[in-house]
Amino acid sequence: MDYTREDLQEAHRQIASTIHKLNEVIKTFEAKPDPDRYKSQLTLARRRVAAFTLAQQLIRDQLDHQEM
């Protein structure tokens, strides 16, 4: 499926926002008195950051490819 440059740029912005919010969630859980209590939530947030970071890179690659 082909996406417009604008579609890709908006997806990139939304993913960047989500990554930022997830990183804030991670900081919040890590700052709690007993962070081990939130181990599963931290693991999930970290995995989501990794997945969204991968998606962000793929979008960047597609944007770079469109410029050629």
Q: Is the pTM higher than 0.85?
A: yes
Pull the structure tokens for residue 39: 């181990």
pLDDT at 5: 95
pLDDT at 2: 86
Mean pLDDT by 10 residues, the chain (68 residues): 93 98 98 96 98 98 88
In this structure, the number of other CB atoms found within 10 A of the CB of residue 62 comes to 16
Residue 12 and residue 59 in contact, taking contact as beta carbons nearer than 8 Å:
yes
CA separation for the pair 55, 52 (Å, rounded)? 5
pLDDT at 67: 80
